[in-house]
Amino acid sequence: MVQNPSRRLFFKEMAAAGAAASSPLPIEGAAASTVIPPPALIPTVDFHGTRITRLVIGSNPLYGYSHFNSILDRTMRDWMTGENRVQTLHRAEAAGINTWQVHYNDPTIEDLKRYRDEGGKMNWLLLGDFALMADWKLIREMAKLKPLGIAHHGNRTDNRFRAGEMHIVHDFVKAVQDAGLPGGVSMHNPQVMAFIEDKGWNMDFYMTCLYHVSRTREETRAEFGEAPLGEAFMEGDPARMTAMVRKTSKPCFAFKILGAGRAIGNEKALDGAFEYAYSNIKPNDAVIVGMFPKYKNEMRENAERVARLLGGGAAQT
């Protein structure tokens, strides 16, 4: 029987991770001098009592949300079978990433359970979405699966802010905290954080998009004099959001640091986007990056990049 080559690579990487403390594992069938390097040592921070890597793997590419166009959405969904999604998580863990950001939906929770059943050990951070936003009783069900925390979904947050309904967001966070978990708020609009901080609400963390992609066309036109085709990724947005991130003492997870793939043209651009994010958030913050490893092992490449930029192995608090 012919073995699936990508699956064979996954098991090699997992074996390499397990052997990292002693010596690298030779690649099967290759020259003795050819080795799989051990996983990168990504700096970690404390998140409410758990050490998490400052690089977190996101969920959007796993489920076909490219924030680019429908063709890329479909490409992601066609390739990201259940098998490939779970394998991607294992390979992220093998690369040294220890946390996965999950948005709530039936397929994501099924993948989480399968990953756990297969021995996966990454922490997981839940973003409330779909049925969970409609039925808060599910919060206690999710608490049994021991996420690091649950955040109110960013687009829903921005919509509530626009409608003057932030009390609903506050009540959601309190329901999460009542279930015994850290409760947080995700957002794309930095004014949401300004509002919450001004109110002095008890938040345990924030998830902060570096691009204010939830602007309506009317809002974009009013602010800039014109509106783009599709979501607005404006070059000044990262500075506006990271300024707010630095003002709060709460831990923040910066996401869309690559502009949903708009900043991946070359290695210099990639390095620059990562370096900008880490240089402009706090030392106790982390970043969430979506990864699509159809063409290369982005998990290992990103882990190595972060370890190199931050000085791998140096735990931070």
Distance (Å, whole) CA 153 – CA 168: 12
* Residue 201 scores a pLDDT above 60: yes
The amino acid sitting at 176 is V
* Residue 313 scores a pLDDT above 60: no
Mean pLDDT rounded to a whole number for the chain: 89
Q: What is the pLDDT of residues 96-138, one digit of tens each?
A: 999 999 999 999 999 999 999 999 999 999 999 999 999 999 9
Q: What is the pLDDT of residues 284-302, one digit of tens each?
A: 999 999 999 999 999 999 9
For 171, the token pair is 């009540």
Task: Look at phi and psi of residue 150 and say left if phi exceeds 0, alpha if psi is from -120 to 50, else beta.
Answer: beta
Residues 296/6, Cβ–Cβ less than 8 Å: no
Q: What is the pLDDT of residues 147-167, one digit of tens each?
A: 999 999 999 999 999 999 999
Measured between alpha carbons, how far is residue 110 from residues 70, 135, 136, 270 in Å? Answer: 25, 18, 19, 32
* Residue 64 scores a pLDDT above 60: yes
Percentage of the residues of the chain whose pLDDT score is greater than 90: 80
Strands 35-36 and 25-26: antiparallel
Which one, of 102, 112, 117, lies nearest residue 65 by Cα? Answer: 102
pTM (two decimals): 0.86
The CATH 3.20.20.60 portion of the chain extends over 40-310
Residues 205/149, Cβ–Cβ less than 8 Å: yes
What pLDDT is recorded for position 13? 53
- Name beta bridge partners: 208: 187, 254
Which one, of 20, 14, 41, 21, lies nearest residue 119 by Cα? Answer: 14
CATH number of this structure's domain 40-310: 3.20.20.60
pLDDT class for 37, splitting at 50, 70, 90?
low
Largest CA distance in the chain: 64
Q: Is the dihedral of CA 252, 131, 69, 102 positive or negative?
A: positive
What pLDDT is recorded for position 12? 52
For 197, the token pair is 């901080």
Higher pLDDT residue, 8 or 191?
Answer: 191
Higher pLDDT residue, 244 or 38?
Answer: 244
Question: Which segment of 7-16, 130-139, 240-249, 282-291 scores lowest on mean pLDDT?
Answer: 7-16
